[in-house]
Amino acid sequence: MITKEQIAADYQTIQDEICLALELCDGKGKFEEELWQRDGGGGGRTRIMQNGNILERGGVNFSAVEGKLPPVMKKALGVEQDDFFATGVSIVIHPNHPMVPIIHMNIRYFEMPGSEVRWFGGGIDLTPHYVIEDDARFFHGHLKSTCDKYSADFYPRFKKWADDYFFIRHRNETRGIGGIFYDKLAANSELSWDNIFEFSKAVGRTFAPVYTELINRNRDKPFTEAQQQWQYQRRSRYAEFNLVYDAGTKFGLETNGRIESILMSLPPTAKWVYNYQPQPGSGEEKTLSLLKKGIDWV
């Protein structure tokens, strides 16, 4: 039986691998690390890059926290016990180039010691400022390949879950082109805990090769000031989702997590333009037309 200590150690290794890959890809930016301790128990390693060649702001964070769940979280999770342990890696990258997409990834494990309550969760999703269809197919194709190694059911189920989860209801649009999302994944007659843990790590190790490829495809493309302004508008939608709907943000705030680490997902610059209407036939109009659920990218 895998232990929480083993899970946390392997997640730290994945954090190290991703930080190295992103530094090499960016060519200038370096991650600054801050070690922190949580008052209720546990802590983490926050790693932030700012003002790189391509990565304007990015966080690759690891945490392993434990303690007592507050009543509001017990109710939200539908559990009766108090003691909990949670560990994971959480990533959000905001590039400075409007043709390079925002990306988010999270892999996590939760358990309530002394009980049978334990599960894995996570996912990875892409938020392009401009939807480039070849990039979308590449991204989803790699996610499907990762999922298919563990279950033919994973990609279609988790892709739909991502479409539904990463949806900005008050805008009636998806945050981006989705990806995969899963929660409370537990062992059953077909999947052992070891299988699920290996899948979790495989999702984590999908991040670096996929995102560095997307960066390198688009980093040298020219762009206009108008396109950068559109990038800032799309960032505002990302901020809205994370502050209104994101479950990880809510969990972190409700369990007395570290505020700087929780809110590292927010972009460095975002703009809200009143009643913006894209020009007919423009790249902005095309992007908005593709921010919807149910698009089959593979």
Residues taking part in catalysis: 104
Return left, alpha or beta for 282; rule: phi > 0 is left, psi -120 to 50 is alpha, else beta.
beta
Q: How many CA atoms does the CB half-sphere of 38 hold within 13 Å?
A: 28
Residue 184: helix, strand or coil by DSSP? strand
193: CB partners within 8 A, 6+ apart: 1, 2, 187
Strands (E) across 32-177 are located at 32-37, 42-50, 55-68, 83-95, 102-111, 118-127, 167-168, 173-174
Choose among 262, 266, 259: nearest CA to 240: 266
216: CB partners within 8 A, 6+ apart: 25
CA distance 49 to 209: 18
For the chain, give percent helix, strand, coil, nearest 5: 40, 25, 35
Cα torsion through 57, 179, 77, 267, rounded to 10? 20
Choose among 53, 49, 62, 47: nearest CA to 25: 53
